[in-house]
Structure 1
Amino acid sequence: MAGGIVAALLRLLHRVEVRGIEAARGVGGCVVVATRRSTIDALLIASALPEPPVILGRPDEGAPGWARRALDRFERVGGLRAAVRAARAGRCCLVLTGDRPDLDGVAAVYGPAALIAGAAGVPVLPLHIDGSGATPHALVRWPGTRRFPKIALTVGTPRRLSAPAEARGRARRVALAEGVYDALAATAFAAFDLDRSVFDALLDARRRFGHDTPILEDAERHPMGFGRLVLGSVALGRALARTAARGEVVGVLLPNANAAALTIFGLHAFGRVPAMLNYSMGAETLVSACRTGRIGTIVTSRRFIALGRLDRIAEALGAEARLVYLEDLRKQVGPLDKLWGLAVSRVPWLLRGRTAPADSPAVLLFTSGSEGAPKGVVLSHANILANVGQVGAVVELVPQDRAVDPLPLFHSFGLTAGMLFPLLHGVPVCLYPSPLHYRAVAELVADDKATLLFATDTFLAGYGRAASDGQLSSVRYAVVGAEPVRDGTRRLYRERFGVEILEGYGATETAPVLAVNTPTHSRPGTVGRFLPGIAHRLEPVEGITDGGRLAVSGPNVMHGYYLPEEPGVLRPPAAGWHETGDIVAVDGDGYVRIVGRFKRFAKIAGEMVSLAAVEALAGQLWADESHVALGLPDTRKGERVVLLTTRAGAGRDELAAFARERGMPELMVPKTVLWVDSIPTLGSGKADYPAVRRMAENALSDGAERRTGT
Structure 2
Amino acid sequence: MRTSNDRSIAGLLVAQVLGAFNDNAFKFVAALLAVRAIEGVVPAGPELEFASQSAMTTAFVVFTLPLMLFSLPASVWIDRISKRSILVATKGLEILLMALGTVALRLAPEGGLPVLVILAAMGAQSALFSPAKYGILPEILSPRELIRGNGRIETWTMVAIIAGTASAGHLLDLTSSFDGGPVWWIGLFLTANAVVGFAAILRLPEVPPASAALPIRTVVGEAWRAVRDDRVLWLASAGSVFFWAIASLVSQDALVYAKARLSLGVEQAPLPLAASGVGVALGAYLVGKLSRGRVDTGWIPLGTLGITAACAAIGLSTPGFHGVVVWMAAVGVFCGWVIVPLNTLIQIHAPKSRRGAVIALVNAAQYGGILVGSLSCDALARHSIDSAGVFVAAAIATLIGTAWALWLLPQAGVRLVLVLLTQTIYRLRVRGAEHVPTDGGALLVCNHESFVDGLLISASLDRPVRFIVEKSVYDKRWLRWFMRLFGFVPIAQDAPPRELLESIRLAGEALDRGELVCIFAEGEITRTGQMLPFRRGFSRIIKGRNVPVVPVHLDRVWGSLLSFSRSKWLQIPRKITVSFGDQLPASVSGAEVRARVRELASAAWAERIEDAGPLHAEFVRSARRVPWRLAAADERVPRVSRIGLLASAVAIARELRAEWSDVSRVGVLLPPSVAGAAVNIAASLAGRTTVNLNFTTGPAVMRAAIERAELRNVVTSRAFLERVGVELPAGVEPIFCEDLERRISVVLRARSVLAALFMPIVWLERTCGSDAVVKPGDPATVIFSSGSTGDPKGVVLTHHNIGSNADGVAQAIPVTKDDRMLGSLPLFHSFGTLGLWFALRNGIATVFCANPLDAVAVGRTVQRYSLTLLIATPTFLQIYTRRCTPGQFGSLRLVVVGAEKLPARIADAFEEKFGVRPLEGYGTTECAPVVAVNAPGFRAPGFYQPASRRGTVGQPLPGISVRVVDPESRDPLPIGETGVLEVMGPNVMRGYLGCADLTAEVLHDGWYSTGDIARVDDDGYITITDRLSRFSKIGGEMVPHGRVETELQDAAGAIAQVFAVTGIPSDSKGEQLVVLHTLDESRIPEIRAELERRGLPNLFIPRESAFVQVDELPVLGTGKLDLRGVKELALARFAGD
TM-score range, shorter chain: 0.7 to 0.9
Q: 8 Å contact 2:1015–2:1022 — kept in the other structure?
A: yes
Tell whether 2:658 aligns with 1:218: no
Q: Take 1:455 and 1:45, find their aligned partners in 2: how far apart are those partners?
A: 41
Q: 1:472 to 1:184 in 2, by over 3 A?
A: farther
2:600, 2:810 → 1: CA distance? Answer: 11
Distance 1:483 1:386 in 2: 22
2-side partners of 1:24 and 1:636: how far apart? 57
C-alpha distance in 1 between matches for 2:651 and 2:1096: 61
* Residue in 2 that maps onto 1:169: none
- Provide the C-alpha distance between the structure 1 equivalents of 2:805 and 2:988, rounded to a whole number of angstroms: 9
Contact residue 249 and residue 294 of structure 1 kept, 8 A: yes
Pair 1:324-2:729 in alignment: no
Q: Structure 2: how far apart are the matches of 1:354 and 1:376?
A: 24
Q: How far has the Cα of 1:406 moved from its partner?
A: 1.9
Classify 1:438/1:413 alpha carbon distance in 2 versus 1 (closer, same or farther; 3 Å).
same
Measured after TM superposition, the shift of residue 638 of structure 1 is 5.2
Q: Distance in 1 between matches of 2:1042 and 2:674?
A: 37
Of structures 1 and 2, the one scoring higher in RCO (CA 8 A, sep 6+) is: 1
State the SS of the aligned residue for 1:664. coil
RMSD between superposed Cα atoms in Å: 4.8
* Pairing partner for 2:1051 from 621, 637, 642: 621
2:563 aligned with 1:149, yes or no? no
Partner residue in 1 for 2:127: none
**Structure 1 position 33, deviation (Å):** 4.5
Please point out which of 872, 879, 883 is paired with 1:455. Answer: 872
Does residue 298 (structure 1) correspond to residue 714 (structure 2)? The answer is yes
Question: What letter matches 1:674 in structure 2?
Answer: V
Kept in 1: contact 2:926–2:989 (CA 8 A): yes
Separation of aligned partners in 1, 2:819 and 2:559: 16
Shift of 1:663: 0.8
The equivalent position to 1:687 in structure 2, one of 1105, 1116, 1121, is 1121
Q: Structure 2 residue aligned with 1:130, among 542, 556, 571? A: 556
Q: Contact 1:31–1:87 at 8 Å: present in 2 too?
A: no
Once the 2 structures are TM-superposed, how far is the Cα of residue 151 of structure 1 from its aligned partner? 0.3
Query: 2:824: which partner in 1?
Result: 406
- SS for the counterpart of 2:1121 is coil
Change (3 A) 1:423 1:198: farther
Question: Which residue of 369, 374, 377 corresponds with 2:792?
Answer: 374
Residue 437 (str. 1) matches residue 865 (str. 2) = no
1:522-533 → structure 2 map (5 Å cutoff): 522=948, 524-528=950-954, 532-533=960-961
CA 1:215–1:508 in structure 2 vs 1: closer, same or farther (change >3 Å)? Answer: farther
Tell me by how many angstroms 1:278 deviates.
Answer: 0.8
CA shift for structure 1 position 683: 0.4
Deviations 1:111-132 (A, max 9, x none): 8888878899674654435378
5 Å matches for 1:350-365?
A: 351=765, 354-365=772-783
Give the 3 Å change call, closer, same or farther, for CA 392–650 of structure 1 in structure 2: farther
* CA displacement at 1:503 relative to structure 2: 3.2
SS in 1 for 2:614: helix
Tell me if structure 1 keeps the 8 A contact 2:664–2:689: yes
Residue aligning to 2:990: 559
Select between 574-583 and 367-376 the one with higher mean Cα deviation.
Answer: 574-583
| Number of the residue aligned with 1:673 | 1107
The answer for the alignment partner of 2:1073 in structure 1 is 641
* Pair 26,204 (structure 1): closer, same or farther in 2 beyond 3 Å: farther
For residues 131 and 609 of structure 1, what CA distance do their matches in structure 2 show? 45
Separation in 2 of the partners of 1:642 and 1:472?
A: 38
Which string of whole-angstrom CA distances, capped at 9 and with x for unpartnered residues, describes residues 55-114 of structure 1?
67799x9xxxxx99xx999847482337776666525558694332589x935x978888
- By how many angstroms is 1:536 displaced? 5.1
Which residue number corresponds to residue 53 of structure 2?
Answer: none
Deviations 1:615-670 (A, max 9, x none): 22221123224211233455655554332222234533112211111111233233
Q: 1:684 Cα shift?
A: 0.9
CA 575–548 in structure 1, closer or farther in 2 if over 3 Å, else same: closer
1:161 and 1:646 map into 2 onto residues whose CA distance is: 54
Q: Secondary structure at the match of 2:966?
A: strand
Q: Distance in 1 between matches of 2:435 and 2:1135?
A: 71
Counterpart Cα distance in 2 of 1:119 and 1:424? 50
What letter corresponds to residue 538 of structure 1 in structure 2? D
Who is 1:106 aligned against?
532
Distance 1:639 1:472, change over 3 A: same
User: Residue 713 of structure 2 contacts residue 733 of structure 2 at CA under 8 Å; is this kept in 1?
Assistant: yes
Distance 1:72 1:349 in 2: 52
Where does 1:93-492 land on structure 2 (aligned, <5 Å)? Answer: 97-101=524-528, 106=532, 123=549, 126-128=552-554, 130=556, 133=559, 140=565, 142=567, 145-146=569-570, 149-158=572-581, 176=590, 179=593, 183=597, 186-187=600-601, 190-191=604-605, 194-195=608-609, 200-204=614-618, 207=621, 211-212=625-626, 214=629, 216-220=631-635, 229-245=645-661, 248-306=664-722, 309-310=723-724, 312-314=725-727, 316-317=728-729, 319-330=730-741, 331-332=743-744, 334=748, 336-344=751-759, 351=765, 354-388=772-806, 391=809, 395-399=812-816, 402-416=820-834, 418-421=835-838, 423-425=840-842, 428-442=845-859, 444-445=861-862, 452-469=869-886, 472=889, 478-492=895-909
- Farther off after superposition, 614-623 or 494-503: 494-503
One-letter amino acid of the counterpart of residue 216, structure 1: A
The corresponding residue for 2:1087 is 655
Counterpart-to-counterpart distance in 2, 1:680 and 1:575 = 27
Assess if the C-alpha contact under 8 Å between 1:585 and 1:593 holds in 2.
yes
Q: Which residue does the alignment assign to 2:967?
A: 539
- The whole-number CA distance in structure 1 between the counterparts of 2:674 and 2:542 is 49
Q: What amino acid does structure 1 have at the position aligned with 2:579?
A: G
SS at match of 2:726: helix
Matching residue's letter, 2:634: A
Higher-strand-fraction structure: 1
SS of residue matched to 1:313: coil
Greater CA radius of gyration, 1 or 2? 2
2:1063 counterpart (603, 626, 631) = 631
SS at match of 2:676: helix
Deviation, structure 1 residue 156: 1.8
Query: Which string of whole-angstrom CA distances, capped at 9 and with x for unpartnered residues, describes residues 482-521 of structure 1?
Result: 3222231122134344544443333323322344445646
Write the distance in 1 (CA, Å) between the matches of 2:1133 and 2:801.
44
Give the whole-Å Cα distance in 2 for the aligned partners of 1:150 and 1:576. Answer: 36
TM-score, normalized by length of structure 2? 0.51
The alignment partner of 2:429 has SS state of: strand
**CA separation of 1:599 and 1:128: change in aligned 2, threshold 3 A:** closer
* 8 Å CA contact retained: 2:616, 2:684: no
Work out the percentage of aligned pairs sharing the same amino acid.
Answer: 30
Conserved in 2, the CA contact under 8 Å of 1:162 and 1:176? Answer: no
Q: Give the C-alpha shift of residue 408 in structure 1.
A: 1.2
Q: Which has the higher helix share?
A: 2
CA shift in 2, pair 1:289/1:19, >3 Å = same
Do the aligned residues in 1 keep the contact of 2:526 with 2:532 (CA within 8 Å)? no
